[in-house]
Amino acid sequence: MLIDFHTHCFPDKISKVAIDKLSFASGGLEPFTDGTVSGLRNSMAQNDVDFSVVLNIATNAHQQKNVNDFAAQINKDENLIAFGSVYPHSEDALDELERIKSLGLLGVKLHPDYQGFDVNDIKMKPLYKKISELGLITIFHAGIDYGFAPPYGATPKKLSEALEWFSSPVIAAHWGGVGCGEDVIKYLCGKEIYFDTSFGYSTMPKYYAEKILEKHTSDRIIFGTDTPWHTPYMERKLLESLKLSKEDADKIYYKNAKRLLAL
């Protein structure tokens, strides 16, 4: 079994605009799908992916409802598990979290750089408390983002400080932080937080991947790709280079995700 915990797709009518905009902002990054739901499904079929978690991001208050309605719509697909999102600065963010729960969504994606906040800002505490009360999973974009200049909102140090405000599962994407291997080891390894492997191929040096696996253990690492920006094949190549035992590989490829998602 293979579960991809970090994918993206968009409604058909905006997928091309969204992909083009994101690619341009990231310095011309080439996508591997067209950003549609069908494009994601095709990629899953080609790469033997059994389930994909689709992460949606509300980049302003007006997007919240539409983003979460789209998530609820694609969540009906038996092989897609969609997360919702809230815009943290929105006056009705806490109410929207209640709606996310009522829609049957299992978690939320937050992107500090797209949404304009620091993860350790005390103003975020009520939002995190509400997420935890509802038992939702939180996945943060972590580390640098190719579309933004520093400072970044979810560095490993900032994430380590925010963890105390959660009592439900937290995932730091991109091996705990794009371009932050040393600080991931220093501030996050061994703590109650999961890392996904998304966008690791060619960006996460093997040295740091090995150290993170050693110090954080396979119990808290989850397979992810960041489709459409990377593919399952790419991320598996990095993991295969680490010479994992079958037990460790099974945990990363599906067992940890299966447990979190109660599949």
Residue 66 neighbours by CB distance under 10 Å:
13
pTM: predicted TM-score of the whole model, two decimal places: 0.97
Q: What was the pLDDT predicted at 103? A: 98
Q: What was the pLDDT predicted at 106? A: 98
Q: What was the pLDDT predicted at 30? A: 96
Q: What was the pLDDT predicted at 117? A: 98
- Those residues of the chain that have pLDDT short of 70 are none
In three-state form (DSSP H/G/I as H, E/B as E, the rest C), the secondary structure along the chain is CCEEEEECCCCHHHHHHHHHHHHHHCCCCCCCCCCCHHHHHHHHHHCCCCEEEECCCCCCHHHHHHHHHHHHHHCCCCCEEECECCCCCCCCHHHHHHHHHHCCCCEEEECHHHHCCCCCCHHHHHHHHHHHHCCCEEEECCECCCCCCCCCCCCHHHHHHHHHHCCCCEEECCCCCECCHHHHHHHCCCCCCEEECCCCCCCCCHHHHHHHHHHHCHHHEECCCCECCCCHHHHHHHHHCCCCCHHHHHHHHHHHHHHHHCC
228 backbone φψ class: left, alpha, beta (φ>0; ψ -120 to 50): alpha
- Cα–Cα distance measured from residue 100 to residue 108, given in angstroms and rounded to the nearest whole number: 8
pLDDT tens digits, residue range 167-214? 999 999 999 999 999 999 999 999 999 999 999 999 999 999 999 999
